[in-house]
Amino acid sequence: MKFNQSNHQLNQSQRKLGGFTLLEILIALAIFGYAAVGLISQVSNYQLAQVNASQKIIAHWVAMNQLAETRLKKEWPNTGVTRGRIEMAGTLEEPITWHWLQTVSKTTEKELRQVEIEVRLEEKDENATSRFVGFIANKNIKK
């Protein structure tokens, strides 16, 4: 009879250590689910930030190139607005077209012009992806 009692006590202790309850498993799954959703959200935000940063860098290059081209022209730039577009980045099959808007204005210095260049991915975009301001001196200044 003692043998049966010890087996009975052993079986009860084995049952307690035997595994997880359904409630414990559901709680663990819920915690894992929340963690997975948070991780996926963070990865998505990182990828979006990376795309935005690369677009801003390329748009800035477009603006700097446009200012360099304006400086290299042999003529003094007239005040006013000029529009244009250029393909930069992307692939050979699908290059990305950037739209730029250049505004040349007078400054307080007679022989100096301000050049502001706004670059957009889509011409109809309200906000510019990049904005760059530079100055061009008159090359005919006599010293």
State the architecture of 20-137 in CATH terms. 2-Layer Sandwich (3.30)
Note the pLDDT of residue 19.
79
Per-residue pLDDT of 74-132, as tens digits, reads 888 889 999 999 998 877 888 889 999 999 999 998 889 999 999 998 888 888 889 99
Range from 16-25, 49-58, 70-79, 112-121 carrying the lowest mean pLDDT: 16-25
- Distances in Å between the Cα of 96 and the Cα atoms of 14, 17, 60, 64, 91 are 67, 63, 14, 17, 8
Note the pLDDT of residue 95.
87
Buried b (16+ CB within 10 A) or exposed e, 9-36: eeeeeeeeeeeeeeeeeeeeeeeeeeee
Note the pLDDT of residue 16.
58
pLDDT at residue 50 is higher than 80? yes
pTM of the model: 0.68
Task: Check if the beta carbon of residue 118 is closer than 8 Å to that of residue 98.
Answer: no
